[in-house]
C-alpha cells in the first residue's frame, strides 16, 4: 500500500514539468490576489497578447506594480504590490499570464 502510494507520488511529480508547476503557481496567485478586482478572469488575461504581458511583467513586474500604485481605485492592492512577496510571485504570475495570453492558443482547464 505505502509503496504503491509513493510510486504514485513519484510518478505524479515526474509527470508535471517545471513549467506547468510555475504556471499553476501563477494561477493560484492570480486567483488569490487579482480576481477580487479583475473578476473577468480568463477573459481579462486574454485581452493582452504575449508581448504585452511580457512588457507589463518585465523587471519583476514593476510596470504592473506602478500602474496599480498610481491608481487610487486600486488602493486595496497597494500593500501587495509594495511587498517583497509580489516580487517573488511575479515570475510565476508572468508565466501564467503569458501562457493564457490572447495569442497563446491555450485555454485554462476548468478546475
Ligand atoms: C484592489 C483592486 C486590484 C487588485 C487587487 C489588482 N488590480 Fe489590477 N487594476 C486595478 C485597477 C483599479 C486598475 C485600473 C488602473 C487605472 O488605470 O486607473 C487595474 C489595472 C490593471 C491592469 C491594466 C489593465 C489594462 O487594460 O491595461 C492590469 C494588467 C492589471 N490590473 C493586472 C492585475 C494583476 C495581474 C493583479 C494581481 C497581481 C491585479 N491587477 C490586482 C485594481 C486591482
For cell 507589463, name the residue: 56
Question: Is residue 76 very low, low, confident or very high in pLDDT (cuts 50, 70, 90)?
Answer: very high
Residue 57 Cβ contacting ligand 1 at under 6 Å: no
Structure confidence at residue 12 (pLDDT):
64
CA distance 10 to 100: 28
Percent of the chain predicted with pLDDT > 90:
67
Whether residue 22 has pLDDT greater than 90: no
Mean pLDDT of the chain: 88
Å from CA of 51 to ligand 1 middle: 18
Q: Choose which residue among 32, 33, 38 to substitute to test ligand 1 binding: the one with the highest number of ligand atoms within 8 A of its C-beta.
A: 38
Amino acid at each position: 500500500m505505502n509503496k504503491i502510494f509513493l510510486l504514485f507520488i513519484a510518478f505524479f511529480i515526474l509527470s508535471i514539468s517545471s513549467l506547468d508547476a510555475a504556471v499553476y503557481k501563477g494561477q493560484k496567485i492570480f486567483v488569490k490576489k487579482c480576481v477580487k478586482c479583475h473578476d473577468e478572469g480568463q477573459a481579462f488575461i486574454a485581452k493582452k497578447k504575449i508581448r504585452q504581458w511580457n512588457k507589463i511583467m518585465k523587471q519583476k513586474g514593476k510596470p504592473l506594480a506602478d500602474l496599480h500604485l498610481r491608481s487610487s481605485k486600486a488602493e486595496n492592492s497597494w500593500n501587495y504590490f509594495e511587498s517583497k512577496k509580489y516580487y517573488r510571485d511575479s515570475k510565476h504570475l508572468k508565466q501564467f499570464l503569458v501562457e493564457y495570453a490572447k495569442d497563446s492558443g491555450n485555454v485554462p482547464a476548468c478546475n
